[in-house]
Amino acid sequence: MITLSGSAPPAEQIRDQIVGLIAAGQLAADQRLSSVRQLAKDLDVAPGTVGKAYKALETEGYLTTRTGGGTRVSHRADTTPRPVLEAARHLADASTHAEIGLDDAVRILRAIWPEQHREASEPKDAAPHP
Q: What is the C-alpha to C-alpha distance for residues 44 and 84, in angstroms, rounded to an integer?
A: 33
20 and 67 fall within a common domain: yes
130 lies in some domain: no
53 lies in some domain: yes
93 and 66 fall within a common domain: no
Counting the structural domains of the chain, the total is 2
Last residue of a domain, one of 39, 56, 73: 73
- Among 28-32, 75-79, 86-90, 99-103, the minimum mean pLDDT is found in 75-79
126 lies in some domain: no
Q: Is the pLDDT reported for residue 52 higher than 80? A: yes
Q: What is the C-alpha to C-alpha distance for residues 70 and 127, in angstroms, rounded to an integer?
A: 57
Write out the residue range of the structural domain in which residue 105 sits. Answer: 82-121
69 and 98 fall within a common domain: no
Q: Is the pLDDT reported for residue 46 higher than 70? A: yes
pTM of the model: 0.65
In 10 A of CB 13, how many CB atoms?
Answer: 20
Share of the chain above pLDDT 90, in %: 53
Mean pLDDT value across the chain: 87
127 lies in some domain: no
